Amino acid sequence: MSMLPILEFPDPRLRTKAADVDPAELATPAFQTLLDDMFETMYEAPGIGLAASQVDVHKRFMVIDVTEDKSRPLVFINPRISARAGEQVYQEGCLSVPGIYADVTRSDTVTVEALDRHGQAFSLDADGVLAVCVQHEMDHLDGKLFVDYLSPLKREMVRKKLLKAKRSAA
């Protein structure tokens, strides 16, 4: 396994809309290794979710594990939210927007339908942090970031802060 580079805002590649994964691709060793590498990258970062778009692979899949002990790794391939209910405000962060956190309003519960890493279809009812994470990662697959929920002024402040941090690190 290996660590993958994570794209950071305002990289324009984060705005790419991901294409569906061909189910025939799932059985390939390269795809399975990519999933393992995404989990390793997510855990090391540390994070609770990582969309393929964040590692410059513009296909519709993501990995999530919201447990403290990394005991429930979930893979969602070609995910689709089929039901939403309620509303919650949750403070979100993002591996592609390091060090920035902001309140975002999301659905409180979602039902997501997807394929697992072996191509088996499943449906999952999610609430709380898992529901937020699913919605957050699916936004990435659509080329959207959590900073898009902020006012234009706050989003510009975030962009400038990250660019300044990058320049001072160089």
CA distances from 169 to 51, 95, 166 (A): 25, 17, 5
Q: What was the pLDDT predicted at 149?
A: 93
Instruction: Check whether 137 has a pLDDT greater than 80.
Output: yes
Confidence band of 166 (pLDDT split at 50, 70, 90): confident
Q: What was the pLDDT predicted at 72?
A: 97
Q: What was the pLDDT predicted at 164?
A: 87
Is 140 annotated as contributing to ligand binding? yes
Q: What was the pLDDT predicted at 59?
A: 98
3-state secondary structure of 7: coil
Locate tokens 């989003």: which residue? Answer: 155
Q: Which residue has the higher pLDDT, 165 or 19?
A: 19
Is 133 annotated as contributing to ligand binding? no
d(C-alpha 79, C-alpha 112), whole Å: 6
Instruction: Check whether 162 has a pLDDT greater than 90.
Output: no
- What is the pLDDT of the chain when averaged over all its residues? 95
Instruction: Check whether 165 has a pLDDT greater than 90.
Output: no
pLDDT tens, 48-85? 999 999 999 999 999 999 999 999 999 999 999 999 99
The number of helices, as runs of H, and strands, as runs of E, in the chain is 3, 7
d(C-alpha 163, C-alpha 87), whole Å: 33
Q: What was the pLDDT predicted at 168?
A: 85
Backbone dihedral region for residue 54 (phi beyond 0: left; psi -120 to 50: alpha; all else: beta)? alpha
pTM of the predicted model, to two decimals? 0.94
Is 118 annotated as contributing to ligand binding? no
87 is catalytic: no
Share of the chain above pLDDT 90, in %: 86
